[in-house]
Amino acid sequence: MTFIPLSATLRKTIESKLPVHRLKSCPLCGTLNAEDNESCFSCGWHGTFVRDPEQIRQSLHELVLDCPEIGDILTQRVVGRPSLIQRMLGIFRRDRKRLDISV
Ligand SMILES: [Zn+2]
């Protein structure tokens, strides 16, 4: 497989959302596993895992290149609950349209 580098933006996003120190790679099958996994979820290996940060980054990049949908998911902006101020502004804007403030 020829390595195709990811864009700098996607690489930065992936690494910020999936910190390499929380991942490890299986030496048998190359599958990325969460650091907390005692055995590889793919092949069941339960010995020493690869924890080299550069190798983990390379595996992440290959995973995203093989499955671009993962990159899309990682780059999607998470929309959270609006803050109290945003909700209050929304109520004010909504109610202002209903009120006749002309004198
Ligand atoms: Zn494995």
C-alpha 53 to ligand 1 mean position (Å): 18
**pTM, entire model:** 0.58
Q: What is the pLDDT of residue 6?
A: 67
Question: In the chain, what is the greatest distance between 2 CA atoms, to the nearest angstrom?
Answer: 79
C-alpha 38 to ligand 1 mean position (Å): 11
Residues near ion ligand 1 (CB < 5 Å) are: 26, 28-29, 31, 40, 42-43, 45
End-to-end Cα spacing for the chain: 74
Cβ-contact 4, 11 below 8 angstroms: no
C-alpha 101 to ligand 1 mean position (Å): 68
| pLDDT tens digits, one per residue of 51-89 | 998 888 888 888 888 888 887 777 776 667 778 877 877
| pLDDT tens digits, one per residue of 36-45 | 999 999 999 9
Q: What is the pLDDT of residue 99?
A: 61
Query: How many percent of the chain have pLDDT more than 90?
Result: 28
Q: Report the alpha-carbon distance of residue 22 to residue 18 in Å, rounded.
A: 7
Burial class (CB in 10 A: 0-12, 13-18, 19+), 24: buried
Token pair 């793919």 in the structure block, residue: 42
C-alpha 12 to ligand 1 mean position (Å): 26
Query: How many percent of the chain have pLDDT more than 70?
Result: 81
